[in-house]
Amino acid sequence: MEGGQARGLGLRLAASGLNQRVLHLVGRRLPAVTGGWMPWLALSRYPIPALPGPDWVRVRPLLAGICGSDTALLTGRASPILSPFASFPAILGHEVVGVVEEAGSAVELKTGERVVVDPIISCFVRGLDPCPACRNGLPALCRHAADGPLAPGMLIGYCRDLPGAWSEAMLAHTSQLHRVPESMSDETAVLVEPLACSLHAVLAARPGPGEKVLVVGGGTIGLGVLVALRMMDPGVDVTAVVRHPLQASLAERLGASRVILDHGGGGPQRAAIEVTSARMHRPIVGDQVLTGGFDLVFDGVGSRASVDASLRVVAPRGRLVLLGTAGELEHLDLTLAWARELRIIGSYVYGSEASLPGAPHTFDFLLERLVETGAPGVADLVTHRFGLDQWRRALAVATGRAQHASVKVVFDHATAYAARD
């Protein structure tokens, strides 16, 4: 940061139907061709933001993750249905561990303390009377994401008034901040936000005694489900279907009972046949359908192929949890949802966990349990780190998991600060 200014990497396009179509047409192809360069992204300087009030904090990011929702936005794969609740141009980034640089007079945190940020923009953050969702500790479901003095935005990084973590300075309301224990590494702390998404999903659909569980996807969210399952139900029988050898190695380390490497598709079906003795049948056209299957399936991918495969391997009256930000899925056959009386459960981020004693925030419970367990293998999910100046390379690696053997890619601000000092 120099001369009262900070640097940030942001989406410089305004939200519009035309821009959405441009991203959809060329976004998913461009990073691979250009080495991560995207003309709608820019690293620029902006004035270091002043605190809006006594209950606000300025945070200096140390590590900031690149989320699948970020790459979906940048490559045109995100559904436009939530566009009324976002505002651009905006500096991106919502997975972060940082240091308090300045705290308002009503804030208990002190300068220099490490924090993780809950990026959800609640009624409290907007200075509004709480809606029913915010009053019940579930601000992700806030009814006022487009209201109040702040620009529309469901979370930091998708609101033009609040710079995200792909920057050198960001603002957060005191209600969004959670202290990081001294014993926790920055690498583990930056994973608290995505791991909280996984834990929230597991708490919404705990496996019952003797139930067999399948996790589809070996990205941060899918691997986080393994962490959460072992944290909550250590004896659960859980199979993981992943795409790449590194994901398989991490899944084994994080507690999968068995791992199936799915190179060319059909991995979930193969898992159901091998693990649950499901039987395969061939329709007159289309992919195979099974009798039998898993009692509980977590889809951490959200693609048309993954959701289709997940639907096919859930046992009758079983549960399918969607936490991979599935959007517009063309030609998805939902016949098995009603023919098998499946329960399809949506899971979005985190909040007050009513199923736990005292209804703690997902972050607080997770931070405590990660310290208690020592978080074996968790920090290994951070596979690549880059400075902000290397953003093109960072996004190429984040969008090319198979080629680069990447899981969580982060912007390493701390190293850049140290080099500058």
- pLDDT, tens digit, for every residue of 350-376? 999 999 999 999 999 999 999 999 999
pLDDT (0 to 100) of residue 226? 98
Domain with CATH 3.90.180.10 in the chain: 5-119+155-191+378-420
Who contacts 150 (Cβ-Cβ below 8 Å, separation ≥6)? 121, 125, 126, 159, 161, 162
Domain topology for 206-346: Rossmann fold (3.40.50)
Who contacts 326 (Cβ-Cβ below 8 Å, separation ≥6)? 299, 302, 303, 307
Alpha carbon 206 to its chain's center: 20
Q: What share of the chain is helix, strand, coil (3-state, %, to 5)?
A: 35, 25, 40
Cβ atoms of 164 and 92 within 8 Å: the answer is yes
pLDDT (0 to 100) of residue 127? 97
- pLDDT, tens digit, for every residue of 105-149? 999 999 999 999 999 999 999 999 999 999 999 999 999 999 999
* 3-class DSSP assignment, residue 32: helix
Characterize the bridge pairing of strands 90-91 and 41-47.
unpaired
Residue 17 token pair: 């139907």
* 3-class DSSP assignment, residue 51: coil
Q: Which CATH number fits domain 5-119+155-191+378-420: 3.40.50.620, 3.90.180.10, 3.30.499.10, 1.10.3190.10?
A: 3.90.180.10
Residue 217 token pair: 């996807």
- pLDDT, tens digit, for every residue of 256-301? 999 999 988 899 999 999 999 999 999 999 888 999 999 999 999 9
Ranges of H-type helices in 191-244: 192-204, 220-232
Residues of the chain with pLDDT under 70: 1-3, 14-37, 416-421
Q: From residue 20, give the alpha-carbon distance in Å to each of 40, 66, 70, 280.
A: 11, 20, 14, 40
Task: Concatenate the DSSP letters of all residues of 270-322 into one string.
Answer: HHHHHHH--EEE--SSSS-EEES-EEEEEE-S--HHHHHHHHHTEEEEEEEEE
pLDDT (0 to 100) of residue 258? 98
Residue 396 token pair: 């190429």
Domain with CATH 3.40.50.720 in the chain: 206-346
Q: What is the C-alpha end-to-end distance of the chain, expressed in Å?
A: 11
pLDDT (0 to 100) of residue 324? 82
Q: From residue 273, give the alpha-carbon distance in Å to each of 270, 281, 342.
A: 5, 11, 19
